[in-house]
Amino acid sequence: MNVLVIGSGGREHALCWKLSQNPTVDQILAVPGNGGTSEVARNIPLKDDDIEGLVALAKAEKVGLVVVGPEAPLVKGIADACAHAGIPCFGPDAFAAQLEGSKAFAKTIMREAGVATAAFEVFDDADAAKSYIKNHGAPLVVKADGLAAGKGVVVAKTVDEALEAIDDMMVKRSFGAAGAKVVVEDALTGEEASFLAFCDGENFALLPSAQDHKAAHEGDTGPNTGGMGAYSPAPVLPQEQYAATAELCIRPILRRLAELGHPFKGVLYAGLMFTENGPLVLEYNVRFGDPECQPLLMRLDADLLEILFACAEGRLTPDMVRVRPETALCVVIAAPGYPGAYPKGMEISGLAEADALPGVKVFQAGTAAKDDKTFTSGGRVLGVTALGLTLAEAKARAYEAVAKVHFEGCYFRRDIGDKGIARSK
């Protein structure tokens, strides 16, 4: 069978790598893919949100399953287009994808489904938002409604910062149409973790907890990025609490979306904050996280193709998702300057040496392969991932591998996993 994987990040390399382990897979097509996917898949230079082009390709190549990595094609309706063409697709329809594509939609569904989340109001008028902010007082969080590449959230410590965020989003339209509406919500404090579940519309199968590192610099300082590292499990959400946590944040959403006639098929990702009053949902994503996907798939001790098919066809059972007991940790190596402007085209050395270490896999993200060499082509370049019996061991192995890899100006955080290690002590 041929499988089409949409996307070009470390997440998609991990998906292609894991899918390629199934012996019934003839060919994986990665659109557009990267240097890493080209090792196990055929890269095809189409845009990841060219819905018509993707469906035409899937038909022409007799693709048996479309696997969607990023959110943009889901929000644009790739799953609806596949359904129309009769091609099984792993990922929710455009209506359900609004859980990620619209913060106002997500908050409203959470309210309707009874999911614990920060108190909020939605505004499509800047003056109304400002008077609410002045009455409420800081701290507050201002969120652009639409997709803004992770940059549309401002945690405002003062009223002035919150008012400035409203001007930026609603008046200056710094994020374009994404800022036509905003959500203003109470600021929460606590440790964050990610909790992901495979879903078939009605049933779900849980993945173990994970923790991302969104800030660019050590100690969670500096600008927000797509994620500078991740590990699983996250001690802040231990296994004993998975089932109860799923009742809080996974099952109610599946039930509500099914009631609305849009059963959710794909990965439902709950971004949780563990406050003094228990876990609250900060956000939903409708796909695997990147880089959370890399450690999660390193731990998956089951056939990924079988799971994704079961989701697409509505016959998922929890026992299909088995995970190794070890911890996995992923360190992202970025180009100098990321998440701001950064150079491209630097040659990467040491990939084979790092990959050869026991329990290590180097997932490539912003890379391109040319003449047996690998060059950087993006901001997040590599996700060096390792398994260990403990989090400390996984961390030590991952950084041993990181030390073997080099390109000019390469940057990485040295403290991935430290919060979890401190908590496990």
Give the binding site for ligand GLY (CB under 6 A).
212, 226-227, 285, 289-290, 292
Residue nearest to ligand AMP according to CB distances in the complex: 283
Judged by CB under 6 A, does residue 200 bind ligand AMP? no
Q: What angle do CA 14, 54, 341 make, to 5 degrees?
A: 60
Report what 227 binds from ligand GLY, ligand AMP, none; CB cut-off 5-8 Å by kind.
Answer: ligand GLY
Instruction: Give the phi and the psi of residue 415 in degrees, each rounded to 5.
Output: -115, 25
Q: How far is the CB of 185 from ligand GLY (least distance, A)?
A: 18
Report what 64 binds from ligand GLY, ligand AMP, none; CB cut-off 5-8 Å by kind.
Answer: none
215 three-state secondary structure:
strand
With contact defined as beta carbons under 8 Å apart, do 179 and 173 qualify? yes
Name the residue nearer to ligand GLY (CB basis): 292 or 326.
292
Judged by CB under 6 A, does residue 187 bind ligand AMP? yes
Q: How far is the CB of 400 from ligand GLY (least distance, A)?
A: 24
**How many Å apart are CA 171 and CA 261, to the nearest integer?**
35
Q: How far is the CB of 262 from ligand GLY (least distance, A)?
A: 21
247 CB burial (10 A radius; 0-12, 13-18, 19+): exposed
With contact defined as beta carbons under 8 Å apart, do 66 and 42 qualify? no
**How many Å apart are CA 368 and CA 338, to the nearest integer?**
18
Q: What is the 3-state secondary structure (H, E, C) of 179-196?
A: HCCEEEEECCCCEEEEEE
Judged by CB under 6 A, does residue 271 bind ligand AMP? yes
Write out the binding residues for ligand AMP, residues 325-354 only, by CB under 6 A: none
Report what 80 binds from ligand AMP, ligand GLY, none; CB cut-off 5-8 Å by kind.
Answer: none
Judged by CB under 6 A, does residue 217 bind ligand AMP? no
Name the residue nearer to ligand AMP (CB basis): 141 or 169.
141
Q: In what order do the strands lie in the sheet with 278-285?
A: 204-206, 191-201, 264-275, 278-285
Closest CA to 55 of 24, 80, 20: 80
Q: How far is the CB of 154 from ligand AMP (least distance, A)?
A: 9
What mask of x and - would describe binding to ligand AMP in positions 69 to 108, judged by CB under 6 A? ----------------------------------------
With contact defined as beta carbons under 8 Å apart, do 336 and 411 qualify? yes
Q: How far is the CB of 366 from ligand GLY (least distance, A)?
A: 15
Write out the binding residues for ligand AMP, residues 377-396 only, by CB under 6 A: none
Q: Say how many residues touch ligand AMP, by CB under 6 A.
A: 13
Q: What is the DSSP letter of 170?
A: I
Residue type, 156: A
Closest CA to 7 of 21, 41, 20: 41
Binding footprint of ligand AMP on the chain (CB under 6 A): 118, 141, 143, 153, 155, 185, 187-188, 192, 214, 271, 282-283
